[in-house]
Structure 1
Amino acid sequence: MTDTTSELDDAAIDFDTAEPAAWSAMTWFAVLSMAATSFALVSAEFLPAGLLTPMARDLGITEGTAGQVVTATASVGAVTALLSNVLIGRLNRKAVLVGLSALAIGSNILAALATDFWLLLLGRAGLGIALSGFWALSVAVVARLVGANATGRGMAIVTLGVSLATIAAPSMGALISDWLGWRIAMAMTAGLAALAMLLQALSLPTLPASTSNSLADVFRLTGRRGVQLGMLAILLLMTGHFAGSVYVRPFLEQVTLLETESIALALLGFGIASVIGNVAGGRMADASIRLALGVTAALMAVAALALVLWGAHIGVAFAFVSLWGFAFGMAPVVLPTNLSRGAPDALEAAGSLMVVSFQVAISIGAVFGGYVVDHYGAVGPLTLTTVLAASTGALALLQPRS
């Protein structure tokens, strides 16, 4: 098996055409090490949602400015996602993955020790490189570990780390920051990355590169209408999501008037609902990607609008934060599937554009969300979420029926 684009694209299309062979213990160990890495990296990515208020207070900055730690991660990640396969050239993929985990360790430690906002940004930028580099390689590596016919099964296990991080990071971050301080919470993500690096070093086989990569195929896809609509859907919905979700804690504190423990429970509900939404999104996307995109956008718009209108009521806040989590859980399944329909013959190149689109959307969302929260208060970002999610719903009407 190799990790060339054509072979992996074929694997993505035809992975279930034959019965996969039983995995050896070492194969399981290697795949689980990838899942542990996704958990460690995504935990660090989502952690600021639960640390924003104490982080801003400690560094003497506004909550809107503190939210730009998300921008730093995503902005660097967007460039990394586009260039990673070119920059790593023929380096052994195991060495690259272990190196990316080492970078995550250093970046999280720097963020935890940061004495000013710029050092914090530098640490988060390093995390952005580690995140995007890992996801850019993940499908190719999993395909080589388990074989083309089991790539989907392998990726399902790897992305389990994302679901678990979505549940654990914001809620546990809020609790740990309240008990021990936000710096300890940030340092714990360095420990998770160290564990993931150890598992990778012990379990991954040597993975020599089989080919170099070019940007030509990636840029060529941007001329296709289906790809353009898919990228626009990601930009609208994820910009809306991250414009509001980063500032959910200030909203729950200032509007719903919740204490830290109650905020942690609300964020836990968000995470659990996102796992359920992930399953629902997969089933709906298989049935009708157009419908799935419309439902995902509509649910997020309704959840954000309800919080704006009635979020002062505790029961309403808990219910619609969970609904928002459900919609967010659908999005990582529905949005990439929607984009891939525009390039069924070039799924990996489309995947690169998908990662870039997500990271750009996170950056834009954090920037605009920070501006809005500083000028219009905690309700402002959620209003922006409502508008952009509703716009995505309208865009879904332009998608081809499937």
Structure 2
Amino acid sequence: MPLSLLALAVAAFGIGTTEFVVMGLLPDVARDLGVTIPAAGLLVTGYALGVVIGAPVMAILTAALPRKATLVGLMALFIGGNVLCALAPSYGLLMGARIVTAFCHAAFFGIGSVVAADLVPRQKRAQAIALVFAGLTIANVLGVPAGTAFGQWMGWRATFWAVAVIGIAALCALIVLVPGRLPMAHGGILKEFRVLGNGQVMLAMLISVLCSASLFCVFTYISPLLSEVTGLSAPAITGALLLFGVGLTAGNMLGGRLADWKLMPSLIGTILALLVVLLAFVPGARAPVPALALLLIWGVLAFALVPLLQLRVVDTAASAPNLASTLNQGAFNLGNAMGAWIGAVAITHGIAYGHLPFVSVGLSLLALLASLLSAALDRPAVRRPSPVECGE
């Protein structure tokens, strides 16, 4: 694997850290800016919506630009956004800075995925994409806990300064390590947007939305689930989340290898395995040992889907990979928001925390049906011979 992939992974680590680290700093942010903790929590929602809105906007703005220059520019935007977060004197300005930072998210991962796939032989494309996304998963394992601890020690603004420094390191690595002559899409943005009329592209993005929604329907409420159903203490829940992060990282690399092996069979098989784990999680969550084992396996399967789905979108949108890959990042984040909302509605209507996996099972079943349909459409139609060919 070329060193340029390491530069992309470092940038992904910074982006992943800034996306989620604010969750551990909500009380500090709320106290400093004079808002409630629920209001501070909207900084997470605002970032996710910024990714969804920013995906098509940034796809249009960067369509005709060279890929390396685009990646460097996006990382500069990321650095600026985090500096604004660190300096923000009010809640409104902090929210605006978070949204500015989020605008680079979808475009960076979208274009970065295409660049990573172009830098390696065809049979290693998914592994290259997985290596980029490994930065995102490692951010959840290391970056977010370290950033939270640093912010609680030095103040929440110090965390954003630290992330900006990571961004500067990534920017330098991108300039030095990523080759300047990378293939570009041709034909204009209007031609690229025509790819959205391709049913296979839209099916791939729908699967991304449903798989993300299935994950966040439960994961958003994993702390109260582990506390009230499994009976874990607060320190034990922290360890459980670390274990889940390890599963995400392992799953990401596994998904890359599976996608390079057999993409659609691996996608369908992973969703089937995920259904089994989610069903087992309902009774398994009642005791610590099976709950932790299932949590680890769930993390592996949930993030094995990411490189599978990202490569599927790139493959089905061969004429517009930058646009489709970028929009798929918006699809993932739309699924995140939908899953959290669906989980909230379910809890509000009396669904117990321990039964939330049943709701995720329903979403995963829809993803499975969409995957089966997509695989069926891949098969070439069998042409029946004409009477002349049959000698009639």
**248, 253, 257: which is aligned to 2:222?**
248
Q: How far off its partner does 1:32 sit?
A: 2.9
Pairwise CA distance, 1:217: 3.2
Q: 1:48 to 1:392 in 2, by over 3 A?
A: farther
Q: Does 1:397 align with 2:375?
A: no
Q: Give the direction of change, closer, same or farther, for the CA distance of 1:395–1:150 in structure 2 (3 Å limit).
A: closer
Q: Distance in 1 between matches of 2:117 and 2:253?
A: 22
Which residue identity is paired with 2:71?
A: L
- Residue type of the partner of 2:199? R
1:163-219 alpha-carbon deviations (Å, 9 max, x no partner): 422432454456556766665555533332232234335555667997776333343
Question: Residue type matched to 2:188 in 1?
Answer: S
2:195 to 214, 218, 221: 221
Residue equivalent to 2:298: 324
Structure 1 residue 266: deviation in Å? 1.4
TM-score, length-normalised on structure 2? 0.75
Q: Does the residue aligned with 1:42 lie in a helix, a strand or coil?
A: helix
Note if contact 1:255-1:378 (Cα within 8 Å) is conserved in structure 2: no
Counterpart of 2:336 in structure 1 is 362
Q: Which amino acid aligns with 2:248?
A: S
Question: Structure 2: how far apart are the matches of 1:147 and 1:292?
Answer: 21
What is residue 36 of structure 1 aligned with on the other side?
Answer: 10
Query: For residue 209 of structure 2, what is the amino acid of its counterpart?
Result: L
Match of 1:75 in 2: 49
Q: Distance in 1 between matches of 2:168 and 2:321?
A: 32
Aligned pairs for 1:2-401 (under 5 A) are: 28=3, 30-48=4-22, 61=36, 68-88=42-62, 94=68, 96-111=70-85, 118-139=92-113, 141=115, 146=119, 152=125, 155=129, 157-172=131-146, 184-201=158-175, 203=177, 214-286=188-260, 288-340=262-314, 342-344=316-318, 346-370=320-344, 379=353, 382-400=357-375
CA contact (8 A) 2:114 2:321 kept: no
Q: Matched residues, percent identical? A: 28
Cα gap change, 1:381/1:107 in structure 2, threshold over 3 Å: closer, same or farther? farther
Contact 1:311 / 1:317 at 8 angstroms: preserved in 2? yes
Q: Give, in angstroms, the shift of residue 325 of structure 1.
A: 0.6
**3-state SS of 2:10 partner:** helix
Between the aligned partners of 1:284 and 1:218, the Cα distance in structure 2 is 28
In 1, the alpha carbon distance for the partners of 2:143 and 2:77 equals 20
Q: TM-score, normalised by structure 1?
A: 0.74
In our comparison, the structure showing a higher alpha carbon Rg is: 2
Structure 2: how far apart are the matches of 1:282 and 1:336?
10
How many residues align structurally?
Answer: 374
- CA–CA separation in structure 1 for the residues paired with 2:314 and 2:175: 33
Contact 2:274 2:298 (C-alpha < 8 Å) held by counterparts: yes
Give a deviation string over 1:72-123, Cα, whole Å, max 9, x none. 2232223332232431366565554344323323433544566765444323
- Residues 1:104 and 1:291: Cα distance change in structure 2 (over 3 Å): same
Cα deviation, residue 360, structure 1: 2.4
Unaligned segments of structure 2, at least 5 residues = 380-392
Deviation at 1:54, TM superposition (A): 7.2
Question: 1:157–1:297: structure 2 CA closer, same or farther, 3 Å change rule?
Answer: closer
Distance 1:117 1:383, change over 3 A: farther
1:400 aligned partner, one-letter code: A
Give the secondary-structure state (helix, strand or coil) at the position aligned to 1:258: coil
